[in-house]
Structure 1
Amino acid sequence: MENALIIGASGGIGSAVAVELKDRGVNVTGLSRSGDGLDVTDESSVERHLGALEGQFDLVFCATGALEIDGAAPEKTIKRLEPEAMRDQFMLNAVGPALVLKHAIRLVPRKEAAVMAVLSARVGSIGDNGIGGWYSYRTAKAAVNQVVHTAAVEFARSHRHLSCVALHPGTVETRFTADYQDTHPTVTPERAAARLCDVFERLGPEHTGGFYDYAFEEIPW
């Protein structure tokens, strides 16, 4: 791995992955909303920022996303579901990564090994859902998993050495998870980044279209 592009490079996970990759000798290009004005929910913004990049990247990592948007907490019951909050979740956690994949594929080599990874979450698994709740976040993550899998099928036709995957980093100690860490084991962003980078290094084209956790264990859809 030589050149990496990180979308969401100012976030807790994105910034830690950038540091870890640099420590491993990888050249890192980072884009974010706070640092560069990139809004992944706005296609014109995605097209402008990614269109300005030249060269090729053998790793594209979309680390954008949020558990809460504009103060809308995960719903414990469907009675608390608000259409606007659900739309916001879909725009940031599903539409945003889809637009990144759409406009970043031109930056990925066709004839060499490469990875496109999107930050997902285990709660997006339908098969692993045994407790319910969190309707908007769960369904947005389930949607982005489908986006990744479908894109992987398409990309395999033109990029035979590409691995396009959804990744679950574990519960990471960031400001987004501060109110939910009491019931889930947590890791620091630095530890999460090291584990994700280990996964990047193990991914091959045979894994494309998959959904994996930080330990490289496959998660059911």
Structure 2
Amino acid sequence: MNAVIIGANGGIGKALADALVEEDASVHRLARPECDILDEASLAVAAAGAGTPDLVVVATGLLHEGEHGPEKAIRDLDPDWLARQYAVNAIGPALVAKHFLPIMPRAGRSVFAVLSARVGSISDNRLGGWYGYRASKAALNQLVRTLSIEDKRRNDRSIVVALHPGTVDTKLSRPFQQSGRDIFRPDRAAVQLLDVLDGLKPQDSGKIIAWDGTEIAP
């Protein structure tokens, strides 16, 4: 297997790359500053040196940064922070797809996966709040669906999916972890996600799949 992990210096990204190496995969670890999902030129350079990957995982995401975190109410909405979340959580992965899907195999099974979140499900939203994160992940899920339709015309066995890893003990989730909820170590989360990826079929393309293999409604 020839795999590319975007965001390979993050908690889940590093664990995914390490787990793939243990499975004797050839792994391209891409991360800032050399490869920045918001710098399209760097993505083009990275794609040019990645060969023909049959697995690409975008393991990036933004939930909090500096003084900014998930909004609890509409009074907390800030246009710059909303735009930042959309840039990292939706636009960046879309740009990765723009440059990496065309270099993936044109025949046979291939998988392009992005890390999303259950809170991006519109139908599953029962608590409100977290406006920017919810909306940007919902946008990401829609992008995945749209990309999956187009990529079927290039390779009818390609799989483009969004993955919900659950709550993983990383910098992203640490300030918001709740007692009593399952919290996975990054190495365990990586194995769970790779198990899900291994079991995907072409008809799963466009879906949002949780760490336990269940489908999440949009």
TM-score range with shorter-chain normalisation? over 0.9
Are positions 1:76 and 2:72 aligned together?
yes
Tell whether the 8 Å contact from 1:93 to 1:140 is kept in structure 2 after alignment. Answer: yes
| C-alpha distance after superposition, 1:60-91 (max 9, x if no partner) | 00001121133311011111010000000000
Identity level (%): 44
Are positions 1:38 and 2:35 aligned together?
yes
The alignment's TM-score, normalised by the length of structure 2, stands at 0.96
Equivalent residue runs for 1:175-214 within 5 Å: 175-183=171-179, 184-214=181-211
AA matched with 2:160: C
The alignment's TM-score, normalised by the length of structure 1, stands at 0.95
Q: Post-superposition shift, 1:54?
A: 4.4
| C-alpha distance after superposition, 1:36-63 (max 9, x if no partner) | 5222112222222223x14211100000
C-alpha separation in 2, matches of 1:15 and 1:121: 18
Match of 1:142 among 138, 145, 156: 138
Gap runs ≥5 in structure 2: none
SS in 1 for 2:24: coil
C-alpha separation in 2, matches of 1:8 and 1:88: 17
- For the structure 1 residues 7 and 54, does the alpha-carbon distance in structure 2 shift closer, same or farther, using more than 3 Å as the test? closer
Q: Over aligned residue pairs, what C-alpha RMSD do you find?
A: 1.1
AA matched with 2:34: G
Are positions 1:63 and 2:66 aligned together?
no
Are positions 1:12 and 2:8 aligned together?
no
Tell whether the 8 Å contact from 2:28 to 2:50 is kept in structure 1 after alignment. Answer: no
The corresponding residue for 2:112 is 116
AA matched with 2:56: V
C-alpha separation in 2, matches of 1:78 and 1:98: 27
Are positions 1:29 and 2:25 aligned together?
no
Gap runs ≥5 in structure 1: none
C-alpha separation in 2, matches of 1:117 and 1:129: 23
Match of 1:86 among 62, 66, 82: 82
The corresponding residue for 2:213 is 216
Tell whether the 8 Å contact from 2:4 to 2:50 is kept in structure 1 after alignment. Answer: no
C-alpha separation in 1, matches of 2:208 and 2:178: 25
**Matched pairs, number:** 217
SS in 2 for 1:70: coil
C-alpha separation in 2, matches of 1:109 and 1:102: 15
